[in-house]
Amino acid sequence: MRKSGKNAPDLSLTAATADMQMRMALRQMNFMPAARDDETGMALRRREWLLDVMERQRALSPYAAGLLTADHPSGDDFLHHFYAPGRPVIIKGAMTGWPALDRWTPDYLAATVGEAMVEYQGGRDAAADYELMKDRHKRTAPFSRFIQLVRDGGNDAYITAYNSAANAAAFKGLEPDLGYLDAYLTRAHGMLWLGGEGAFTPLHFDLTNNLLAQVTGTKRIILIPPSQTGRLAHRRHVFSDVQDVTDPRRLDAYPAARDVLRYELVLTPGDLLFIPIGWWHQVRSESFSAMLTYTNFRWPNAGHENYPG
Ligand SMILES: O=C(O)CCC(=O)C(=O)O
């Protein structure tokens, strides 16, 4: 399905995706959080009801409810159709010509960054809460050693956005390989995520709007709207205790997450993904992967200042 015209950006949505999303949304009708007799319990149930009727309404139209792909929309189109409404979108064609898209193999990165010391998240295999307890997992190593750790895959070592301030000097030599996304962002380079096949970021939401820019390899991403929060055992900071909505064992432990409304996509080199503030997401690298994330939008990007907890 495509929608275009004088006032609409060039957007596309596959029918299969739309069908799946409609079915997921309609299943919501069966969900009600466990009944509690007190006033707070009733207020929560009413809030869940409101969120569910809003999703059911959106599900009437695949254009309204689907995950759209846009071909390099202008800044104004992005603002009006996605940024301001808080709607995710996959953007194609905005990174055309970036040298990094051809260059950033493990060998090239190893040759360019060399023996510079880098900070990364390590020891992740030994702890399920490695994202919540980020500080405990900070490690340093020469970049050549880090690349050895990740080139054959695994989730134990990963350079994340959390390490980007510490790694600014080490990665300076990679900057000429990058372009700018002036339609959507101010001029600053993004935060690097670098890891092997199987690197996994568990289900969480961010306290800013985020733009993901895939450079090398592919990532499988699941997006879940904020309306689904009641199903996701949101107990700790910005994390869901479910961790992975594709893992049957986690779903056995958290059955309310089985029917959650979700969107699944694979991000490929040259793709951007806009993830609005408050949208749940989990991310799995399907290969060696290099990706940048940006929060420096041309428009206000606030929220974290008054987040409760
Ligand atoms: O790519 C990843 O592993 C996670 C990215 C992410 O969750 C984010 O940028 O908020």
Cα-only R_g, the chain = 20
Whether the CB-CB separation of 134 and 124 falls below 8 Å is answered with no
Residue to mutate (ligand 1; options 273, 281, 286; most atoms within 8 A of CB): 281
Residue-wise pLDDT tens digits, 68-91:
999 999 999 999 999 999 999 999
- Nearest atom in ligand 1 to 282's CA: 7
Binning pLDDT at 50, 70 and 90, where does residue 18 land? Answer: very low
pLDDT, mean of residues 32-36: 58
* Structural domains in the chain plus CATH codes: 67-199+207-215+263-274+285-300 (2.60.120.650)
266 neighbors 300 (Cβ within 8 angstroms): no
What's the pLDDT at 5? 37
The rounded Å distance from CA 203 to ligand 1 centre is: 10
CB 202 within 8 A of CB 239: yes
Look at residue 10 in the predicted model and tell me its pLDDT: 53
Model confidence over 129-170: pLDDT tens digits? Answer: 999 899 999 999 999 999 999 999 999 999 999 999 999 999
Nearest CA residue ID for atom 1, ligand 1:
283
pLDDT band, residue 303 (cuts 50/70/90): confident
Please determine, for residue 31, whether its predicted confidence score (pLDDT) is greater than 80: no
Ligand 1 centroid to 96 CA: how many Å?
22
Pocket of ligand 1 (CB under 6 A): 161, 193, 201, 206, 210, 212, 219, 281, 283, 291, 293
Judged by DSSP in three states, 85 sits in coil
Q: Name which residue sits closest to atom 9 of ligand 1, judged by CA.
A: 293
Tokens standing for 99?
Answer: 């040298």
Q: Could you read off the pLDDT of 184-196 as tens digits, one per residue? A: 999 999 999 999 9
Residues sharing a CB contact under 8 Å with residue 119, sequence separation 6 or more, in sequence order: 138, 139, 140, 159, 163, 166, 167
What is the pLDDT at residue 165? 97
Pocket perturbation via mutation, ligand 1, pick of 224, 283, 294 by most ligand atoms within 8 A of CB: 283
For 34-59, what is the mean pLDDT?
Answer: 88
